[in-house]
Amino acid sequence: MDILDKLRLTWHSSYKINKIRESIFAIFRLGKSTEVIYIFGCQRSGTTIIQKLLSLNINVKFHGEGDLPYFYDPKSDKHHRLQPIEQLKKLIKKEPLKYIVIKPLYESHFANELLSALPNSKGIWVFRNYLDVIDSHIHYYKQNAIEYIAPLYSQGTESWLNENLPEDTREFLNRFSPDELTDADAYGLFWIVRNSLYWNVSDNNNILLVNYEKLVNKPEQQIERIYAFTKLKFSRLFCKIIRSNAVSKKVSFSLNPEIEEKCKQLNEALLKKC
């Protein structure tokens, strides 16, 4: 990337510049409506890069996952959960720009409800190859993987993990005892659960399915596709933020054969949809 491109990207991405731009735009947009672009999918799947790509457009403001005021206070037990829809509507009315991007990954299983509640809203569902997602979970999260997915096995526990689970997904989970799972197996099941939720919205024309590997390998094609779907103005400059070495990393773990086969089948099915 040359110096000129870096300067141009800074113009689009600088926090201070964006705050000044928002103040100016707010004057000219009084009384005009703001449209919402949601980002859904499984954690560690490339959702952040989609958020960054959309936010490069000067008409877009993004609200990070868990950020106030759209999400509950970080100190509460509902951190990362969206505020009630009526509260969202009030907040959106105060937005200065034409579009806002919100990434409610913990609400992906309520994607249809969120889209139907807000007119003209769009959703982008991002998925990434299960091996890279599992590997990213293992190296990024310093936690006990079995404890992390424990709510999947406890319908009586109030958790975003076990809400709206399809019955066939729950049946597959119950084939495995948590105490027999490795960390990789646990995150493999997590990948299956979160990406299986896509089929709840697969017929929704306001949802675009995006594959992370395709985005990295063919950035111009995929970014232009995303921008066309969201009705934003596309620039080839935005392709410069994609790193080509961000896929197909070597992994050092093995998976339970049945879990790996399920991951492969789901990944192939999702690829056929996009």
The CATH number of residue 135's host domain is 3.40.50
CB burial of 130-140 (b: ≥16 within 10 Å; e: otherwise) equals: bbbbbbbbbee
Question: Would you place residue 31 in the very low, low, confident or very high pLDDT band (cuts 50, 70, 90)?
Answer: low
Phi, psi of 69 (to 5 degrees): -95, 0
pLDDT higher at 166 or 225: 225
Entry pTM: 0.91
Q: Quick one: DSSP state of residue 177? A: -
Lowest mean pLDDT of 25-39, 70-84, 106-120, 190-204, name the range.
25-39
Domains of the chain: total: 1
Range of the domain at 29: 3-273
Percent of the chain residues topping a pLDDT of 90: 72
For position 151, what pLDDT does the model report? 94
Q: What's the pLDDT tens digit per position in 117-144?
A: 998 999 999 999 999 999 999 988 878 9
What's the CA gap between 222 and 236, in Å, rounded?
Answer: 11
What's the CA gap between 20 and 109, in Å, rounded?
Answer: 36
pLDDT higher at 249 or 235: 235
Distances (CA, A) of 72 to 77, 133, 269: 9, 26, 34
